[in-house]
Amino acid sequence: MENAMRISSKLGRDNAEREAKLELEVLKTSLQTTAEENEKLRREMLKTETERSKALELAESARAAEHEALLRVDKSCKKVARVTEQLDAAQASNAELEAELRRLKVQCHQWRKAAEAAAAMLSTNKYGERRGSWDYHTITSRLSSPQSDDEDDDSPKKKNPNMLKKIGLLLKKGHK
């Protein structure tokens, strides 16, 4: 009996050792699975952190680009305002110059009419006869007519002193 007890106790211990070994194997397998799972989660966490960092960098880059674009838009708006002001000033100046040009054309027309009338008065004598055409000689810088060759010393002013008064009256009428 002693032997049986010993065998039985030895069998019990062997059984307990086997159960402990089996339990140890199960724990090792569980530990291995948990370690692999932890490693997988750690890799996913690093990947997520990397993606988050990239997203933050991209967002910061987008903010900087937006700020740059807003600065350019603001600068363009200021330039448009400045150019618009210059255009308005140029158009106002152009309108003033056009008005001045019209006024000068009218005045020039009036002067031309007065000069034609004065020339007509100078070229006719008391009886309405035409004395001849008046030519301006650029070399001598004098007005001359075909009949004035014999009258070199006598100017038209000396012959008809009232002629200047008549020209003055014509000019005054032309301005009205």
Domain boundaries defined on the chain: 110-175
Question: Which comes out higher in pLDDT, residue 140 or 118?
Answer: 118
Tokens, residue 111 = 């002067």
Average pLDDT score over residue span 7-23:
80
pLDDT class of 160 with cuts at 50, 70, 90: low
* Alpha-carbon gap, residue 138 to 142, rounded angstroms: 7
Average pLDDT score over residue span 85-113:
95
What pLDDT, on a 0 to 100 scale, did the predictor assign at position 157?
A: 44
pLDDT, one tens digit per residue, over 17-64 is 888 899 999 999 999 999 999 999 999 999 999 999 999 999 999 999
Q: At 130, give phi and psi (nearest 5°).
A: -85, 130
Contacts of 148 (CB under 8 A, 6+ apart): 154
* Alpha-carbon gap, residue 27 to 33, rounded angstroms: 10
